[in-house]
Structure 1
Amino acid sequence: MVESIWFVIALILLAVVSVALILMIVLRADAGVSGRDTRTQYLSPNYSDSAGFRLTAYPNNELVILQRYWLINESIAALDYNIVPGRFMTLFIAKRGKMRFPDNYYADAFESVEQYDIAGLTVTQSQKAGRRAAVYWTRGDFEYLIYSEEPEMNMMNGLAYYFVNNTRAEDS
């Protein structure tokens, strides 16, 4: 009698463990498919351990105020800025081939796309009047993007020169 009770308990434990393992596998598969980004906040722009690079120069002054450093999916640096007066934008930096544009960035949603040179680099600026704007460029082994959902009129033009000239990343 005692042996049969232990046998039933062992079967129940085996069933519980099996259900738990199946749930873990299913939930893990769903997490990978969900498309959600992992965001890790940093205290400084040194992503050497996770992404293999660090920022050596980036804008930060009384008008372009750096708020937070992030690393998205262990490969894309994201610096959140407040732009006086009361605007917001993000600077993204990634090694070439690793850049992923924000989810709400739609290349065909822009009314104007133009290319021009800044300090010998080709810059692509995309803008929709009164709404989102993006400025993209590459330097060395890195891609850069500044992006704003609601920029002031001509804000991105001025910021493009400032950010292209004052943003640098290097392998670590």
Structure 2
Amino acid sequence: MVDLLWFVLTLILLAAETVVLVLLLVLRWKTPRTDTRETRTEYLQPNYNEVAGFRLAAYPDNEIIIPQRCWLIESEVAEVDFVIVPGRAMSLRVARSGTMREPTDLTVNGYERTEEYEIDGLTVTQKQNTGRYTSISWTRDGFDYILYSQKPEMNMVSGLAVPFITNTRAEET
């Protein structure tokens, strides 16, 4: 009789554990991931037509603004990392309008200041935190652009906004 009671209790506990496990799996499956990792693929050139269907046709490339690495993020957002002489870094993200993924490092703490102005006939939005993250975003010909730096020098991003906005073009392939 005691053995039968232990057997029934064990079955009840196993059934309860199974229900809890199934609920956890179902809830985890339906809960969107908050993982901040991005899937990145490095390219030799900013030509993503096979996967994303577009390429960067033009971008700054001179003795001060030097492209270093080209990425495709989550198969839809292009990113080019630039070295800004002397020894600074900036990145440019490009995606079809409405599919842009802002860098999570930039949006974690929000921005202290946001302003809008016009460059080359486009409305440009600049967001920044004093001495920290700065970004400039704009839209042109069906593509969204974000130029950002995580460790900008004073007014570096603002000073480089014009060459990036006027000289950067993405195109469908």
148 and 35 in structure 1: CA distance in 2 versus 1, 3 angstrom threshold: closer
Tell me the equivalent position of 1:119.
120
- Paired residues, number: 144
SS of 2:164's partner is helix
1 CA distance for matches of 2:88 and 2:160? 12
Tell me the equivalent position of 1:12.
none
**Does 2:82 correspond to 1:81?**
yes
- Letter of the structure 1 residue corresponding to residue 48 of structure 2: Y
SS of 1:50's partner is coil
- Letter of the structure 2 residue corresponding to residue 132 of structure 1: Y
Deviation, structure 1 residue 43: 0.9
2 CA distance for matches of 1:166 and 1:35? 31
Deviation, structure 1 residue 68: 0.5
After alignment, is 48-57 or 102-111 more displaced? 102-111
**Does 2:38 correspond to 1:42?**
no
**Does 2:65 correspond to 1:64?**
yes
2 CA distance for matches of 1:88 and 1:136? 17
| Root-mean-square deviation (Å) | 1.9
Structure 1 gaps, min length 5 = 1-28
- Would you identify which runs of 4 or more consecutive aligned residues in structure 1 move more than 6 Å? none
TM-score normalised over the length of structure 1: 0.78
Tell me the equivalent position of 1:105.
106
2 CA distance for matches of 1:75 and 1:118? 26
SS of 1:156's partner is helix
Deviation, structure 1 residue 107: 7.6
Matches within 5 A, 1:1-172: 33=33, 34-106=35-107, 109-172=110-173
2 CA distance for matches of 1:107 and 1:113? 15
Deviation, structure 1 residue 105: 1.4
> What is the CA deviation profile of residues 18-48 of structure 1, one whole-angstrom value per residue up to 9, with x for unaligned ones?
xxxxxxxxxxx7xx83453111000111100
TM-score normalised over the length of structure 2: 0.78
2 CA distance for matches of 1:46 and 1:87? 25
Deviation, structure 1 residue 61: 1.1
Contact between 2:36 and 2:104, CA under 8 Å: does it hold in 1? Answer: no
2 CA distance for matches of 1:159 and 1:144? 14
> What is the CA deviation profile of residues 74-118 of structure 1, one whole-angstrom value per residue up to 9, with x for unaligned ones?
000000011112111110000011101001112863222110001
